[in-house]
Amino acid sequence: MLDISSQILIAQGKLLPLMEEFYTIQGEGFHTGKAAYFIRVGGCDVGCHWCDVKESWDANLHPPTLSTSIVENVKKYAKTVVVTGGEPLMWNMDFLTSELKNIGIKTHIETSGAYPLSGIWNWICLSPKKTKLPLENIYLKANELKIIIQNKHDFKFAEAESLKVSASCELYLQPEWSKRELMTPLIVDYVMRNPQWKISLQTHKYLNIP
């Protein structure tokens, strides 16, 4: 059980349940191939059964870490940060992103959108999940919509979600990793018939990097 002072710092976003942080190459979506510092925050209740970081779900397993310490680590490596999870918007992102902005770091987030948007972001990748849909006000703020395709019904879900984002939002379909051999040909065919969409692949897994 956290003491009162720690609870206050967490509410302010000055402490975050950090699962891991690392410098790597962005593997998915619009910014694929670009160097970035990843901050993976613990805690998620969206519950995707195919999630490849289920160890992130329980925030209590990940030590509350000073956001200022995270910023100091970022400064050593990168000009772009990707905040992911877990579900990072379970936590207040205002302090972390303002500190990063103050030193000229670009801030990106990958989120299901199921929690209120906090933080100052250069890029918002919205990846909606059927189990817990995004809040309405994030759709028009999303720069990128990324739908994970595990089965044929997910194409209909993607179509419905794409109607909620802005006309300038980049649209991506990404095969769920364990079903990639089955779903990738279907995605290729779909994108060729619906060229407003693009294909996202988990290239970091092909490259065997974090």
Q: How far is CA 207 from CA 20, 110, 120, in A?
A: 20, 21, 31
**91-103: average pLDDT:** 98
Give 130's contacts (C-beta < 8 A, 6+ positions apart).
157
Summarised one tens digit per residue, pLDDT across range 168-210 is 999 999 999 999 999 999 999 999 999 999 999 999 999 999 8
Sheet holding 15-25, edge to edge: 64-66, 15-25, 35-41, 80-84, 106-111, 123-126, 144-149, 170-175, 197-199
pLDDT of 151 over the 80 cut: yes
Domain positions in the chain: 11-207
Residue range 11-207 forms a domain whose CATH class is alpha beta
What mean pLDDT do residues 143-161 have? Answer: 98
pLDDT number for residue 1:
66
Residue 179: the pLDDT is 95
Poorest-pLDDT segment among 18-27, 33-42, 45-54, 72-81: 45-54
Q: For residue 181, give both structure tokens.
A: 């051999």
In this predicted structure, what is the pLDDT of residue 159?
98
What contacts 198, CB < 8 A, 6 or more positions away? 170, 171, 172, 173, 191
- The percentage of residues in the chain with a pLDDT greater than 90, rounded to a whole number, is 92
Determine phi and psi for 43, rounding to 5 degrees. 105, 115
Report pLDDT digits (tens) over 45-91. Answer: 998 888 888 899 999 999 999 999 999 999 999 999 999 999 999 99
| Amino acid occupying residue 97 | T
How far apart (Å, rounded) are the C-alpha atoms in residues 138 and 105? 22
